Chain A
Amino acid sequence: MIQGTEGNHKPFELARKKKFNLKESFFLSLIRMLGFTGAILLIIILFFVAYNGIHILSWEFITQPPVEAMTEGGIFPVIVGTILLTIICMIVVIPIGVTTAIFLAEYSKPGFILNMVMMSMYTLAGVPSVVFGLFGLSVFVVVFNFGMSLLAGALTLAVMILPYIISTSEEAIKAVPYSFKEASLACGATKWQTIRKVILPTAMPGILTGSILGTAKVSGETAPIMFTAAAFFTPGVPRSLFEPVMALPYHIYVLATAGTFIEETRPIQYGTALTLIILVFGMNLLGILLRARKRGKKAW
């Protein structure tokens, strides 16, 4: 009886299968095409910037200061400015972010306080970057009286990137196997000893990766620094935390909108953009490699 049923169904099933495959392959190619859109866009942008900027990129360009009202010369102080802003931002934000992540992942109990912290974090992450710029202006520049300065800009960037650092660090901490924690506590370690000796070292690659990717994000931001740190022009590199700095994204913005030689400085604009992209791309690559290495080594 069973065999009979199978026989009856065979041609019918085959026909349906064929139709199904057609539909399947249609959607598959559609998804494939749409999936490539992102990659194609990225390639077009990269190519566009590289095509326009590559001929100006030279050793002189990245090691000389701008001259002749920024229509000639290089962008050395601009690069230094961006690197300084990013580094100081990270020095400030990583300890705060990782500490908060430890609190959230290990100490907080579900309840009102945790909900409040999480909600503020999500809200903060969704705030547009120009609002952080205004916040930085009113708090760091005016109230703390840092003036338009490296410090005010770095702190503003730190506030902006904090939620990102917290959430990536928290994920890294939560990814540490529970059995490690159990083993440590069963050895008579205190909670803090467990965090310091087992959880943090294990989570460190993940925390570092998150921080590096955060760094890449920070270095390309314009809005948070335009009211707090970025100068139209400085004669050289900053000598203290309280001096304004030039920065790559703001330099592009200034040259492209505010100068009197907008057309004449196009090559410099593209060169600066290319430098920024290379910087960001390099840092992302570092983060990705670090993550890949961690994945490769992971044995649990």
Chain B
Amino acid sequence: MVESSSDKYIFEINNFSIFYGDFMAVKNVNLNIEKNKISAIIGPSGCGKSTLLRALNRMNDLIFTSRVEGQAFFQGVDIYDRDTDVIELRRRVGMVFQKPNPFPSSVYENVTYGPKIRGIRKKSRLDEIVENALVRADLWKEVKDKLNESGMSLSGGQMQRLCIARSLAQQPEVLLFDEPTSALDPISTANIENLLQELQKTITIVIVTHNMQQAARISDYTAFMYLGELVEFGETDTLFVNPQNKLTEEYITGRFG
């Protein structure tokens, strides 16, 4: 196992490619993601941004035909090494999906799902975890009196924050967001964006988004992908104001996408 040269980066991705069968969805990407920052991945549909994101906690394993080449390190550990504990990886690198997907059970059950499968049984400990996670997800005030109601009875924005709380209950170091606001209204979107900026103080966030304004508003770094390749990566302020690549410029100015 290669040790990471620096503590600055939580993910180090070297010559990394992802295939679905013969199709190369992500091509030779080199990318370092800095700890406790928000990094956004933008690009048109089908550019491989979600695929790349899902490689970071090996959610692509669910697709039988997928395989990778090159290396991706999380805290110096090769994510795709055979000895890597995928379960532990997914605990430390949580994920929030495009469509809010709470389980069809109570708010409380949703948040305690992760801790319970890890063997935490004590009621007082679980209560503490639930409150803590819901407070961090900015949902506690709204649901503290209906912890036993179904997670599916909440509004779309609340459901998405519940899903964030469910991930936070595992004390992750990274949260991956796969277009988390594309199914939400503008107010819920603004709430989630504020929440992400709050969370960034304690954890690293990688967000895939369709919405360039969103990337510009909340992220510290932005990666632009096109047809499976990483076209440009840099500080968000620089990339949006002064893109180095012609393609990036055309995309962010809305000439295609």
Residues of B within 8 A of A177 (CB): 101
In the assembly, what is the distance between CA of A299 and CA of B87, in Å? 29
Residue from A185, A188, A190, A198 in contact with B170 in the complex, judged by beta carbons closer than 8 Å: A188
A187-B113 contact given A202-B104, A299-B152, A300-B104, CB 8 Å threshold: yes
B219 at the interface (CB under 8 A from A): no
Contact B90 A188 (CB under 8 A): yes
Residue from A110, A179, A202 in contact with B101 in the complex, judged by beta carbons closer than 8 Å: A179
Residues of B within 8 A of A193 (CB): 117
Residue from B97, B104, B117, B152 in contact with A188 in the complex, judged by beta carbons closer than 8 Å: B117
Contact B101 A185 (CB under 8 A): no
A184 at the interface (CB under 8 A from B): yes
In the assembly, what is the distance between CA of A193 and CA of B117, in Å? 8
Q: Chain A interface secondary structure, helix, strand, loop or mixed?
A: helix
Contact A186 B99 (CB under 8 A): no
User: With contacts A186-B90, A188-B114 known, what are 15 further pairs, Cβ within 8 A?
Assistant: A109-B64, A179-B101, A183-B97, A183-B101, A183-B102, A186-B97, A186-B167, A187-B90, A187-B94, A187-B170, A188-B87, A189-B117, A190-B87, A197-B113, A202-B104
In the assembly, what is the distance between CA of A190 and CA of B150, in Å? 24
Tally of contact residues, B, Cβ under 8 A: 27
Contact B91 A185 (CB under 8 A): no
Contact B59 A185 (CB under 8 A): yes
Residue from B62, B88, B117, B163 in contact with A183 in the complex, judged by beta carbons closer than 8 Å: B163
In the assembly, what is the distance between CA of A198 and CA of B62, in Å? 16
A182 at the interface (CB under 8 A from B): yes
Closest to A188 in B: B91
Q: Range of interface residues on chain A?
A: 20 to 34
Among A181, A188, A193, A299, the most chain B Cβ lie within 10 Å of the Cβ of A188
Residues of A within 8 A of B64 (CB): 109-110
Residues of B within 8 A of A202 (CB): 104
Contact B166 A179 (CB under 8 A): no
B255 at the interface (CB under 8 A from A): no
Contact B59 A183 (CB under 8 A): no
B118 at the interface (CB under 8 A from A): yes
Chain A 64-98 interface residues, beta-carbon cutoff 8 Å to B = none
Question: Shortest distance in angstroms between B239's beta carbon and chain A's nearest beta carbon?
Answer: 29
Residues of A within 8 A of B50 (CB): none
Contact B166 A183 (CB under 8 A): yes
Chain A 175-230 interface residues, beta-carbon cutoff 8 Å to B = 177, 179-190, 193, 197-198, 202
Question: Shortest distance in angstroms between B64's beta carbon and chain A's nearest beta carbon?
Answer: 6
Residues of A within 8 A of B88 (CB): 188
B95 at the interface (CB under 8 A from A): yes
Contact A186 B103 (CB under 8 A): no
Question: Shortest distance in angstroms between A246's beta carbon and chain B's nearest beta carbon?
Answer: 44
In the assembly, what is the distance between CA of A299 and CA of B90, in Å? 27
In the assembly, what is the distance between CA of A190 and CA of B61, in Å? 12
Bits for B51-94, please: 1 = Cβ < 8 Å to A, else 0: 00000010100101000000000000000000000011011001
17 A-B contacts, Cβ less than 8 Å apart?
Answer: A109-B64, A177-B101, A179-B97, A179-B101, A185-B59, A185-B90, A186-B95, A186-B97, A187-B90, A187-B114, A188-B88, A188-B90, A188-B118, A189-B117, A198-B103, A299-B150, A299-B153
